[in-house]
Amino acid sequence: MNFSQAFKLAVKSLRTSKMRAFLTMLGIVIGVAAVIVIISLGHGMEGMMNQQFDKLGANLIQVRIYGAGDGSTRTVSPEDLYALAKKYPQYISGVSPYVISQTKVRFNGEDYQHTSIYGVSEILFNSDKGHTIDGESLREGRFLQYIDVSRHQNVCVVGTFLADQVLGGDALGKTLSIGGVPYTVIGVLNKSADSAEGSQDDQLYIPYSNAIRINAAAAADKAAAAGITGGTGGTYSVDGYLVTSTDRNTAAAAKGLIENRLFRTFQDTDAYFVVTASEMMDSMNAMVGTMMVVLVAIAAISLLVGGIGIMNIMLVSVTERTREIGIRKSLGAKRRDIRSQFIIEAGTTSAIGGLLGILLGILLASAAGMAIGGYMSAQMGGGTFNAVPTPAAIGVSFGVSVGIGILFGYLPANKAAKLNPIDALRYE
Amino acid sequence: MGHLIEFRDVYKIYQMGTEAVHALDGVSLAIDQGEFVAIVGQSGSGKSTAMNIIGCLDVPTSGSYHLEGIDVSTLDDDQQAVIRNKLLGFVFQQYNLIPKLNVLENVELPLLYAGLPAGERRQRAVQALERVSLADKIRNLPSQLSGGQQQRVSIARALAGHPSVILADEPTGALDSHTGREVLGFLQKLNAEGDTVVLITHDNSIAVRAKRIVRLQDGRVIYDGDASDPRAVVQPADSGAGADAGEVRI
């Protein structure tokens, strides 16, 4: 008995009882569809994240400085890293220090505690691309310039919360108080979240040199309040750097250079942390991947249940067709012939179930993609959400469903193959 | 070497609880190429057991069975399947066609298990159907045919593999007497054309259409000889089961 004969026979017997065949397949259909939907959505999310990273620049390297932690004042100044960039222009294309300032913004007698204040340099803004290293663009005005940073100018670039909610829309040229010092708004960023207080839109940029001064002053105040006199509050430096490598392929080399330079100063790898965008992307992708594996494993339980359903119905089918098995054996069918007939029948059932599941899964995934794509896009600040399964996912889920049919079809098929021909022929 | 079918002191013993039932109790029998033999007996005589053993569906408890010189009693399941496929053609009382398959596909089945290519399968199946005058019904399902036609399909199926022996188990049992005669006529025709036919029946009126009768009772051969001999159709009085409808007594 060859395969195509057995396959035709399997299709024939599925056709004679369509309802039963459909219900038998349903477990596989649901399981495969669930797997396809999960993989499609995960794939879409991964794609969206990758777009984000591409936009930010795959060449971005974040450097965080913690300090040696032993009370020493050793540090790496912006000038040190500028020198490094100058020395290796083939690897490092830009360095912007950043300082997180712990003070608050005041306007019209009201404090805004949730505003994030970043001290940065003009290099943060790439005027060729029209956005900052971390992807923000200007709605109006201009970004910080070299002269602002070198001269400690009291100017700031604000997010939409401050511009629209606090300053009332027409923000350019207005003055805010930061750490008690008046700053003039020279630029407004585009909205990247929902413009609410404390959101990503509640932020402002000032020259990093100014931010260092603000932090030093705040620490001195604190020290004075605590009764320590004569202290300057230590040396205040930057919290970290945003560095860009010349392109995505030189990011790893640039990271190595920066780490070497930092180690030379600190002699301690715990004093700093350097991470490239592609490393961050890898770890995000790994996270999404792990999540997908867990979800797919849960969906696979449905495949298992579907397999048991197939086994059950095949056992019924073997009993119903005992006489047919007897006839076939009397005509010279070997055990192997009978076994392969039933295994192919089970495999065909689950293969058709798998195909239906793949179709259903693609439909559901694209529907879900359309429904949540816009929301995802708004949440992650742009990018398109494309919920389509990978060809590998389709291939594997089809293969798995056929495999389940064969696996769970084996026991009933073997039972059929072992029937005694005399008893089988006499079976009513 | 010589006989097509040869039983040597065949016993078949079933254990029914504590009692051993001798379905065949030392049967020796030889059938040659080209014969038309009826194995007759009442129910419980052992004729079904004899047919199962001849048909390689069962093996003797002791003694030996040779088919074309092959000692079948020593073969395993799959080897027996090959013997059934190559050397035997079955015709059953209930036709035993597979209802989902059409006439042609049913007749092709033994050829399929023999591993013949599709073209040859079809050609030989059509030839066999021509021999039973059903070549015009090859696309019909069994359920669309009359009982007599279905039995002819099963004869065609038995013929398709060019077997050494056609083994007919009560082939007229489910048919009316007219159709039954027609089917018997086919078997006689096949025998006239050279095929070996072994007919199993309880019915003397059918058995006498064969050339030779082997009568079984309680697992033993009580008559083996020419069908035209009056003693061939004598059912001994001590059988206790009473006379069958078609039985002739003298």
Residue A410 has pLDDT above 90, yes or no: yes
- pLDDT (mean) for B31-53: 92
Residues from chain A contacting residue B77 (CB–CB below 8 Å): 334-335
Q: Is the pLDDT of residue A250 over 90?
A: no
A53 pLDDT higher than 80: no
Inspect the interface and report whether the beta carbons of A333 and B114 lie closer than 8 Å.
no
Asked whether the predicted pLDDT for residue B249 surpasses 50, the reply is no
The shortest CB-CB distance from A327 to any of B82, B86, B96 is to: B96
**Separation CA B91–CA A171 (nearest Å):** 100
A320 falls in which pLDDT band (50, 70, 90)? very high
**Which residues of B are less than 8 Å from A336 in CB distance?**
78
ipTM: 0.89
- Give me the mean pLDDT over the B88-103 stretch: 91
Residue A110 or A229, more confident: A110
The beta strand positions in chain B, using DSSP E, are 5-16, 19-31, 36-40, 62-67, 70-71, 88-91, 165-169, 196-201, 212-217, 220-226
Are A331 and B110 a contacting pair at CB < 8 A?
yes
Mutate to test the interface with B, among A330, A414, A418, A426 (most CBs of B within 10 A): A330
Q: Which of A330, A332, A421 sits opposite B114 (nearest CB)?
A: A332
Per-residue pLDDT, B237: 56
Predicted confidence band of residue B244 (pLDDT cuts 50, 70, 90): very low
In this complex, which of A2, A330, A332 lies closest to B82 when CB atoms are compared? A332
Dist CA A29 CA A6 (whole Å): 23
Chain B nearest-CA distance from A1, in A, is 5
Name the more confident of A282 and B214: B214
**Average confidence (pLDDT) over B49-72:** 92
| Residue B53 to residue B5: CA distance in whole angstroms | 11
Tell me how far apart the 2 most distant CA atoms of chain A are, in Å: 109
- Pair B70, B83: CB distance under 8 Å: yes
| pLDDT tens, position by position, B71-86 | 988 888 899 999 999 9
The verdict on a CB contact (< 8 Å) between B113 and A324 is: no
**Mean local confidence (pLDDT), A139-164:** 89
Are residues B84 and A332, on separate chains, in Cβ contact within 8 Å? yes
Residues A39 and A247: beta-carbon distance below 8 Å: no
Interface of A with B (CB under 8 A): 1-2, 5, 9, 12-13, 16, 323-324, 326-337, 421-422, 425
Chain A CB contacts of B86 below 8 Å: 332
Express each pLDDT in A164-184 by its tens digit. 888 888 888 889 888 888 999
Least confident of A81-95, A317-331, B119-133: A81-95
Closest CB to A1: pick one of B77, B112, B161.
B112
**Chain B residues contacting A, CB < 8 Å?**
52, 55, 57-58, 77-78, 81-82, 84-86, 90, 92, 96-98, 100, 109-110, 112-114, 157, 161
Q: Which residue has the higher pLDDT, A51 or A153?
A: A153
pLDDT of residue B242: 43
Provide the pLDDT for residue A209. Answer: 85
Candidates B92, B100, B105: best to mutate against A (most CBs of A within 10 A) is B100
What's the domain range around B104?
Answer: 5-243
Mean model confidence pLDDT for chain A:
85
pLDDT of residue A138: 87
pLDDT over 90 at A354, yes or no: yes
CATH number at residue B153: 3.40.50.300
Does pTM surpass 0.95? no
CA-to-CA distance for A272 and A366, rounded, in angstroms? 44
Share of chain A above pLDDT 90, in %: 26
Number of separate domains in chain B: 1
